[in-house]
């Protein structure tokens, strides 16, 4: 793959409105019972229960907030939006069942999700066959959009219906490798992954960049996502004498792994990606202090464009936090809303026949200032926003350390 460099983010994101002007009228043939408005359903697939429910609930709540906001401000005249959220428990089989169910509901015009790249792989073909837009706020595996040969710089869009508001592991993993070498000053790294699509891809991109810069990988290991006892890995890592351990995977595994490594005498930081960047990583890990994680985008708390989102989320009284992907989930939902707005405006204020295929086409041209910054999609359906942030656990909380845009 081509090697890239980190560019320090030097300009603040500009504040922009989340809404665009539009006009519209009712489609008499499609009117429902809500005051003559046409009901448009946006599906959502996420792990609402299970080990990753903290992240899944943040996705669901943020999508719900976007729908409620659109209805409150009358974003699309004559249209009322509803959210239909289904639980995949981070299981590919459940995700496939959910997209089949959503695809069979004629009122569903697009779907937000899923969280996991492995789940997305089970959903993409079904979404394509149903002509249903699938827009993830969290998938990062490059294969999903650009194909398996992206490392050879042979890139081909895989599904015309697939989009995402999260940048890829080509960006995130390489950012992590460069950050480990340039900022943490690590020279020897032990690399572990969970054998899942996301974890393998992230660890591979990290390793490629780290070694290209001069770093040495002193050992590699694979774990099962269900594992919680890491005595064997602790022993191997201690003998390898790394000054950093990188984990490709998610917080239910990385939290006990981090604690057991340090308890076992491997007193070096654990570093991971956005699957590790959760408050639950700290809650489940008494030895989290000093660990690192990268996550797509910039902390919404530091973005002028996210102030309204944060205030509205708090006012809505959601029980669970918006977590790492709340802002991008809001933006993914809003992108579908803006696509609906565009096709209604082009059809004399009415929702056109066969709206799904028109939504897919409209998404390719959607452009607005979202919670996470500028939102638009490239020729593969990937976000054009390639900002990444590195975090460190300090005083029992994730603290941002460095943000950058990753470019050639």
Q: What is the pLDDT of residues 210-226, one digit of tens each?
A: 999 999 999 999 999 99
pLDDT for 401 beyond 50 = yes
Q: Residues 368-393: what's their mean pLDDT?
A: 96
Alpha carbon distance 68, 30 (integer Å): 21
Q: Tell me the residue length of the chain.
A: 408
pLDDT for 24 beyond 60 = no
pLDDT band at residue 4 using 50, 70 and 90 as cut-offs: very low
pLDDT for 13 beyond 80 = no
What local confidence, expressed as pLDDT, does residue 27 receive? Answer: 41
Can you list the domains of the chain with their CATH numbers? 10-167+300-377 (3.40.50.2300), 170-296+388-407 (3.40.50.2300)
The two three-digit tokens of residue 13, written as one number: 């994101």
pLDDT for 33 beyond 60 = no
pLDDT for 6 beyond 70 = no
Sign of CA dihedral 22, 24, 30, 33: positive
What local confidence, expressed as pLDDT, does residue 151 receive? Answer: 86
pLDDT for 279 beyond 50 = yes
pLDDT for 2 beyond 70 = no
pLDDT for 23 beyond 90 = no
Task: Supply the pTM of this predicted model.
Answer: 0.84
What local confidence, expressed as pLDDT, does residue 136 receive? Answer: 98
pLDDT for 117 beyond 70 = yes
Q: Residues 384-408: what's their mean pLDDT?
A: 91
Whether 251 contacts 196, CB under 8 Å:
no
């Amino acid at each position: 793959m081509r090697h890239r460099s980190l560019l320090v983010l030097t300009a603040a994101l500009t504040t922009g409105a989340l809404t665009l002007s539009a006009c519209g009228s009712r489609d008499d043939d499609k009117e429902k019972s809500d005051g003559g408005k046409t009901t448009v359903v946006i599906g959502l697939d996420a792990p609402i229960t299970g080990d990753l429910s903290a992240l899944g609930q943040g996705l669901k709540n943020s999508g719900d907030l976007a729908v409620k906001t659109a209805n409150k401000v009358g974003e699309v005249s004559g249209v009322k939006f509803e959210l239909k959220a289904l639980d995949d428990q981070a299981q590919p089989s459940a995700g496939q069942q959910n997209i089949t169910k959503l695809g069979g509901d004629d009122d569903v015009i697009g779907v937000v999700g899923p969280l996991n790249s492995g789940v997305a792989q089970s959903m993409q073909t079904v979404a394509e066959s149903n002509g249903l837009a699938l827009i993830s706020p969290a998938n990062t595996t490059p294969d999903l959009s650009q194909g398996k040969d992206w490392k050879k710089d042979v890139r081909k869009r895989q599904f015309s219906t697939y989009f995402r508001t999260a940048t890829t592991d080509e960006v995130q993993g390489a950012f992590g490798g460069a950050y480990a070498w340039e900022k943490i000053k690590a020279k020897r790294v032990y690399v572990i992954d969970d054998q899942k699509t996301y974890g393998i891809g992230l660890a591979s991109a990290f390793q490629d960049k780290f070694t290209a810069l001069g770093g040495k990988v002193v050992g590699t290991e694979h774990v099962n996502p269900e594992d919680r006892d890491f005595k064997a890995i602790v022993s191997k890592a201690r003998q390898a004498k790394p000054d950093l351990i990188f984990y490709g995977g998610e917080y239910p595994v990385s939290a006990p792994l981090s604690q057991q490594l340090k308890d076992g005498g491997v007193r070096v930081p654990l570093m991971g990606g956005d699957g590790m960047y959760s408050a639950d990583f700290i809650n489940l890990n008494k030895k989290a202090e000093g660990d690192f994680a990268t996550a797509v985008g910039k902390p919404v708390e530091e973005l002028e464009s996210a102030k309204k989102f944060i205030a509205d989320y708090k006012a809505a009284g959601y029980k669970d936090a918006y977590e790492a992907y709340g802002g991008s989930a809001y933006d993914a939902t809003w992108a579908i809303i803006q696509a609906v707005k565009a096709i209604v405006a082009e059809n004399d204020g009415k929702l056109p026949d066969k709206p799904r295929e028109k939504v897919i086409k409209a998404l390719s041209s959607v452009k607005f200032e979202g919670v996470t910054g500028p939102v638009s999609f490239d020729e593969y359906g990937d976000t054009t926003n390639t900002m990444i942030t590195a975090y460190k656990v300090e005083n029992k909380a994730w603290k941002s350390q460095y943000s950058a845009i990753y470019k050639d």
